[in-house]
């Protein structure tokens, strides 16, 4: 490989790595630990995602989790987008790489024993920075299936699976973009494998409004 090729690989790796460490700042774990003085992973499904946090502690602290997780993803995608637009004129590649790193950090955070969330809110933030049409399809499917079935996981899976298809359609028919979107979608599906099994058995928990901590009831 030439010097330029190695330099390009190094830049891509740095974007991915920066995204990963931002993703490690898990909103559910941080709010439950530093604000509530508890560990969300010790309750409910044991997952450090927004849904389990909401089911465990209610709506009171959920906004803080949402803002943290959306903020870190936006930062990872914006940093990646700016770096690669400046160096290679490719905003969308930077968004996807930074977002992929953030998803990996959110799901497998080095600071929290590699036990993180399932990446739905992070992915839902990423798509708005990638292309508004990709975002509308993902969010539209999520909201539609959630409202019709009350299964958050089913809406999440549909949104994730749609991402590679809509990325191909609206992001220049790029094979590279589509592969990165497919990797992100695959990670989300993998993290929902338990939900898939429960859906198939008819045992998945439906969404309901929570006003207070479940573990204190």
Q: In angstroms, rounded to a whole number, what is the distance separating the alpha carbons of residues 4 and 2?
A: 5
Q: How far is CA 63 from CA 24, 25, 59, 162, in A?
A: 18, 16, 7, 26
Percent of the chain with pLDDT strictly greater than 70: 95
DSSP 205: P
Q: Is residue 4 part of a domain?
A: no
Q: Is residue 177 part of a domain?
A: yes
Q: Is residue 51 part of a domain?
A: yes
Q: Is residue 170 part of a domain?
A: yes
* Cα end-to-end span (Å), the chain: 61
Please compute, for residue 96, the number of CA atoms within 13 A of its CA located in the half-sphere on the CB side.
23
Q: Is residue 39 part of a domain?
A: yes
Give yes or no for residue 213 having a pLDDT over 90.
no
Q: Is residue 137 part of a domain?
A: yes
Total domains, the chain: 1
Q: Is residue 6 part of a domain?
A: no
pTM, rounded to two decimals: 0.88
Q: How far is CA 209 from CA 55, 60, 81, 150, in A?
A: 8, 12, 37, 11
Could you report the per-residue pLDDT of 97-141, keeping only the tens digit for each?
999 999 999 999 998 888 888 999 999 999 999 999 999 999 999
Could you report the per-residue pLDDT of 29-46, keeping only the tens digit for each?
888 888 888 888 888 777
Q: Is residue 69 part of a domain?
A: yes
Could you report the per-residue pLDDT of 1-29, keeping only the tens digit for each?
687 777 788 999 999 999 999 999 988 88
What confidence score (pLDDT) does residue 60 get?
Answer: 78
Q: In the predicted model, what is the mean pLDDT of the chain?
A: 90
Range of 102's domain? 14-110+117-208
Give burial (CB, 10 Å; 0-12/13-18/19+) of 114: exposed
Could you report the per-residue pLDDT of 146-168, keeping only the tens digit for each?
999 999 999 999 999 999 999 99
Q: 62 near 53, Cβ under 8 Å?
A: yes
């Amino acid at each position: 490989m030439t010097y330029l090729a190695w330099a390009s690989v190094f830049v891509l790796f740095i974007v991915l790595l920066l995204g990963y460490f931002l993703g490690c700042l898990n909103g559910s774990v941080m709010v439950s630990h530093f604000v509530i003085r508890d560990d969300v992973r010790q309750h409910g499904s044991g997952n450090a995602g927004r849904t389990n946090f909401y089911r465990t502690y209610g709506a009171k602290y959920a906004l803080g989790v949402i803002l943290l997780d959306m903020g870190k993803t936006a930062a990872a995608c914006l940093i990646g987008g700016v770096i690669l637009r400046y160096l290679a004129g490719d905003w969308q590649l930077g968004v996807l790489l930074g977002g992929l790193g953030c998803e990996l950090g959110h799901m497998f955070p080095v600071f929290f024993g590699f036990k993180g969330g399932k990446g739905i809110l992070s992915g839902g933030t990423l798509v708005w920075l990638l292309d508004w049409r990709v975002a509308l399809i993902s969010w539209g499917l999520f909201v539609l299936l959630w409202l019709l079935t009350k299964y958050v996981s089913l809406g999440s899976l549909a949104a994730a699976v749609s991402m590679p298809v809509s990325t191909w359609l609206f992001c220049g028919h790029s094979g590279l973009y589509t592969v990165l979107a497919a990797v992100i979608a695959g990670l989300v599906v993998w993290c929902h494998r338990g939900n898939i099994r429960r859906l198939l058995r008819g045992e998945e928990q439906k969404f309901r409004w929570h006003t207070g901590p479940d573990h204190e009831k």
